[in-house]
Chain A
Amino acid sequence: MEEKRPIRVLIAKVGCDIHERGALTLMTTLRDNGMEVIYTGRYQTPKGVANAAVSEDVDVVALSDHTGSLPIIAESVLSELEKFGVSDIKVVAGGLLTPADVKSLEDMGVTGNYGPGTPMEVIVEHIRGLV
């Protein structure tokens, strides 16, 4: 039987949002569930995130933000990913979200879109389902 490579996830924070606990919690949870996880740390640029996603050959980019700017961040990261010509990297998002944010993220093709306190198993299952 062919051995399947573990799911690779890049957790990214773009801009100056300092709320990191969600990203760290997701990182340890995904690792505990057998995934390979890279965390960019804070204060990243959209270009840097796209670059890391491509060079690390990840399956999923998970955007975390607690300033209410996820649609803006997702749009800029998606456009940077497009410049690399990659279309197979899935983008998911989580953090502070209004129903309108969720709608606009879904329209861009960003899935998940989880608010704070979402049960971790829901996120794990969602990422497994994507890949």
Chain B
Amino acid sequence: MGEQVEVKVDRKAGHMVRTSTQSGIEVKPFYNDKDVQHISYAEDLGDPGSYPFTRGLYPEMYRDRLWLKSFIVSYATAEETNKAFRQYIANGLTDLRLLCDLPTQSGIDPDHPSAWNSMMCGGVATYAINVYEEMLEGLPLGEAVFEFAHAGMSSFLYFYGLLVAVMENKGIDIKKLRGNSINDPIRSKLVYGCPDFPTFVDRRICLDHIEYSVRNTPNWRPIAPNGVDPCQAGMDAVKELGGCLAVATQVMTDLAERGITIDEFGPMVFALDAESDFFETIAKFRLARKMWAKIAKEKFNAKTKRAMQLKIGIRTSGLSLTHQKPLNNAARVTLQILSCVLGGVNSLDASSIDEAVGLPSIEARLFNLDTQHIITHEANVPLVADPLGGSYYLEWLTSHMETEVNKYLQEIEERGGVFACLESGWLNEVLEASRLKVQREKAEGKRLIVGVNAFRQEGEEGPVNKAIRDVAYKPPTVAAREEKVAEVKRYKAGRDMKRLKPLVKGLYRATKEGRNTQRPVIDAAKAGMTVGECVGVIRTAYGIHYDPFKEIEMPDFVREIVKET
């Protein structure tokens, strides 16, 4: 293995190179009524809007409300991002994904030495409240839907804190805050290896955020176990869904210890991946709703309908997109969007065709929105809920995957639960084995990627492909980064330390004394506490080095707080 050869497919004869789905589920050439005999309509499917919600959450489905359309909007500056948000909103975008650059997502400020190389990459360098104020200026904060998909667990605590702080400062009722945080402690470590906090701190911070949110911002979904990123890192569909269910189950169990019931918590959200395998992806979405509904009802004794409902937020597979012949990505993304609509998802963040080339251009993003409008208003796909329900193949596949996911959940349980599986390295082994399997299939020609290991481009690239390559967004220059560092230093020096210090002390003490950290984060953020300081203070309260990278020392005012406490 290893060598990736080009597979020569006989274009005249034409043949499939595999007999299994992307996740390796062997399938027959056709399915009939005998394959679905064991499935009961009432128990396994139900009408859309009825338990177990396999066919969708609402009776009218998309007639009443279409899926939310969202993007991770991540440009280098707050000003550019604000401008892009306004443009997208004008074009029908309803959901704002606020992402920040990679260093702030990892819990360090832009003036940290390890921030330099990735500064302003992947999003705005969101180090403090001033950045959010500029980025959100003039946007309808009480009406928009926000999503947080950052890497580190510190991000959900801190950036949610910023959003609440900005709303309170503007006099907007925070009960109006709508959206969700990924806030998945397994994903932060398994996929990102995020250095901000150790896992036991991640686990506590996760619950602090959820507890505060459930009680104060009831329209915010404070956790959305994430299958997208494990899937992009190599997990197959069965393990992706199994992982989400395991995280959700663990978190609901932990919340019960804080006195929060599933009915108080409300609907669950999963962030799932729309992969290239069309039917497998649709089956996965239908199954996710069904399995969570059953767990909510049978394991957590949910009484209300909404507590049994799983909302699905999607990111289409960035990994499936190719650098070669980027125009082909339009076909890939369109099929992935279609699988989402047929699978009845609730929100959709579709990749852009230039994503494998650079950060997405605004034009590619607008094309992406238009693709969804065409599927809706020209192709009329969302007219009827779960239009593939009853298909022999799809129903068999959904049912078969349920058996496989249950086996995986059983194994996690036997190994002591999802956190034990993370800590022991077992989840990592599963991920690596799954990734290697994909790599081997590509090398052996069992998994064809058009333009990459099959149907490669001969000769010069055409003008359309070339144009896509040329318009992709370019990362910030050295000068822009230098200016950012100077700006952060000015900001830090200009703060009212008499106001800031006692609030940061409040966070330090809450962390140390085991009280909820979310409100202290909001209050200190209002006075200018940066993301790096937030992470550092919490770490210090646990007696671990202020800096996750161990490169910088704690600032003097934090040192004083530690001495005084």
Report which A residues bind B (CB closer than 8 A): 14-18, 20-21, 24-25, 28-29, 32-33, 41-43, 45-46, 65, 67-69, 72-73, 76, 96, 98-100, 115-117, 119-121, 124
Contact = CB atoms under 8 A, between A and B. Distances in A.
A15 B356 contact: no
B115 interface: yes
A41 B191 CA distance: 12
B113 A121 contact: no
Interface string B38-57: 00000000000000000000
A42 B188 CA distance: 13
Contacts of B453: 119
B118 A15 contact: yes
29 contacts: A15-B117, A16-B101, A18-B102, A18-B191, A21-B233, A21-B319, A28-B439, A29-B439, A32-B1, A32-B2, A33-B2, A43-B549, A45-B549, A67-B102, A67-B118, A67-B475, A68-B474, A96-B358, A98-B358, A98-B469, A98-B472, A98-B474, A117-B323, A117-B449, A119-B5, A120-B2, A120-B4, A121-B4, A124-B2
Interface string B94-138: 000000011101101000011111100110000000000000000
B1 A43 contact: no
Nearest to A31: B2
A33 B323 CA distance: 25
Interface of B: 1-6, 101-103, 105-106, 108, 113-118, 121-122, 151, 191-195, 232-234, 319, 322-324, 356-359, 432, 435-436, 439, 443, 449, 451-453, 469, 472, 474-475, 478, 549, 551
B105 A16 contact: yes
Given A68-B359, A124-B3, A73 B324 contact: no
A70 B191 CA distance: 22
A76 B478 CA distance: 12
B474 A21 contact: no
Contact of A45 (B114, B151, B435, B478): B114
Contacts of B114: 15-16, 43, 45
Contacts of B121: 17, 67-69
B557 to A, nearest CB: 25
Given A45-B551, A116-B356, A120-B4, A69 B113 contact: no
